[in-house]
């Protein structure tokens, strides 16, 4: 066992540590710090126009020669569903009234676009080392166009079946994302909130099923978790929550305070915010929606109904409806600059694996 392998060669990184490209919280500064420390930096670009993507890539390249990853959601176009909009409206209306929000939205509205040829063409020009997708893959012709430009393509799998589909589609890397993971789970379909495969079971089964390198994601916060992922059969790890406490992340004060108080058992997988399951801190809204087992409008149109509630809680004006995403190992977070965190993770991993200096 050592820390360089097929994955580090493919991604041109020193250590098999990937910073999750969390849309909203990942920043060019975070990606730069991680890349300069020898990991793979990442930036979630689903909420950006092509112009914004180009500007952000220029910022990253001004700060590092290292590898970085641009991430995009590959969900299908949401379907309009007036009946589902109406039932959702009825369900959330009492919360709106309680919080004194005048208007309950009439219908779901998409807050971000799915991947497109316009973005594909821009990426072919920009040539980041890696492009990753979440919620499956876009049109395979787009994937091929990226790969022909020398870009490595990754996507997430939450089951062995999804991993096999990605492998058969020819991705360069499969990210095996466990039940423990914070934020949106990458299941291809909007899966149920009460199912998911734990990372310890998922990684070896995915490693056995696919030909490409496997990255483990979910519930990994320190070198013990990284070492465990490697012995399970992964060639690398992706950490999101662990990087939320870095000063380079765009994590607001309330979010950082929540991370400081996080416990192993204070989150829930919930589709009640976006329409797709995301692991979020448990609160009144999440609990109420879980009890009701409501079906929600398609991702990402459900945000139209949930965001006004979350915004009404901003700055502590109210509570119970916040959207605070983190994974089940958040309590292990360290508040360190990203470069220092990566160095610490590498040292801890070596220690956990019993690697001597000689094997570096």
The residue ranges that bind its own copies (CB under 8 A) are 1, 159-161, 178-180, 192-202, 204-205, 208, 218-222, 224-225, 227-229, 231-233, 263-265, 268-269, 290-291, 293, 327-329, 331-332, 352-354
How near is the Cβ of 22 to its own copies at its closest, in Å? 18
Q: Return the number of other C-beta atoms located less than 10 Å from residue 4's C-beta.
A: 13
**Tokens 């580090």 identify what position?**
8
* Residues 42/107, Cβ–Cβ less than 8 Å: no
Tokens read off for 159? 């089951």
Closest listed residue to residue 130, CA positions, set 184, 182, 175, 169: 175
How near is the Cβ of 201 to its own copies at its closest, in Å? 3
Nearer to its own copies, 128 or 136 (CB): 136
How near is the Cβ of 251 to its own copies at its closest, in Å? 20
Nearer to its own copies, 50 or 331 (CB): 331
Q: Return the number of other C-beta atoms located less than 10 Å from residue 359's C-beta.
A: 11
* Residues 203/181, Cβ–Cβ less than 8 Å: no
Tokens read off for 181? 């993971």
How near is the Cβ of 6 to its own copies at its closest, in Å? 18
Nearer to its own copies, 72 or 285 (CB): 285
How near is the Cβ of 181 to its own copies at its closest, in Å? 9
Distances 62 to 29, 115, 316, 317 between C-alpha atoms, Å: 10, 26, 37, 40
Nearer to its own copies, 50 or 200 (CB): 200
Closest listed residue to residue 160, CA positions, set 144, 171, 176: 176
d(CA 220, CA 236): 11
The kind and range of the H/E element at 340 are helix 338-353
How near is the Cβ of 130 to its own copies at its closest, in Å? 24
Nearer to its own copies, 64 or 164 (CB): 164
Nearer to its own copies, 145 or 209 (CB): 209
């Amino acid at each position: 066992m050592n820390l360089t392998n097929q994955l580090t060669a493919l991604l041109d990184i020193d250590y098999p540590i990937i910073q999750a490209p969390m849309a909203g919280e990942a920043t060019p500064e975070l990606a730069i710090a991680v890349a300069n420390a020898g990991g793979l930096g990442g930036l979630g670009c689903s909420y950006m126009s092509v112009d914004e993507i180009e500007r952000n890539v220029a910022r990253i390249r001004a700060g590092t020669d290292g590898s970085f990853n641009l991430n995009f959601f590959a969900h299908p176009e949401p379907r309009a569903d007036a009946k589902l909009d109406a039932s959702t409206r009825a369900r959330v209306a009492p919360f709106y009234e309680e919080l004194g929000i005048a208007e309950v939205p009439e219908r779901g509205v998409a807050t971000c676009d799915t991947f497109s040829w316009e973005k594909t063409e821009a990426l072919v020009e920009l040539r980041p080392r890696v492009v990753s997708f979440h919620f499956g893959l876009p049109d395979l012709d787009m994937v091929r166009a990226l790969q022909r430009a020398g870009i490595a393509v990754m996507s997430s799998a939450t089951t062995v079946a999804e991993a096999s589909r990605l492998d058969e589609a020819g991705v360069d890397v499969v990210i095996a994302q466990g039940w423990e993971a914070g934020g949106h789970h990458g299941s291809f379909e909007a899966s149920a909130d009460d199912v998911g495969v734990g990372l310890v079971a998922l990684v070896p089964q995915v490693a056995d099923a696919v030909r490409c390198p496997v990255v483990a994601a979910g519930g990994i916060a320190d070198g013990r978790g990284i070492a465990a992922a490697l012995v399970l059969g992964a060639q690398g790890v992706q950490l999101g929550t662990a990087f939320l406490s870095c000063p380079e992340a765009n994590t607001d004060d309330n979010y950082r305070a929540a991370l400081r108080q996080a416990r192993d058992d204070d989150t829930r997988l919930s589709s009640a915010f976006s329409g797709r399951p995301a692991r979020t801190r448990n609160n009144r809204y999440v609990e109420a929606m879980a009890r009701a087992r409501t079906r929600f409008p398609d991702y990402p149109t459900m945000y139209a109904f949930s965001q006004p509630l979350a915004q009404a809680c901003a700055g502590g004006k109210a509570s119970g409806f916040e959207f605070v995403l983190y994974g089940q190992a958040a309590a292990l977070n360290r508040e360190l600059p990203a470069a220092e965190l990566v160095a610490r993770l590498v040292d801890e991993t070596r220690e956990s694996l019993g690697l001597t200096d000689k094997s570096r």
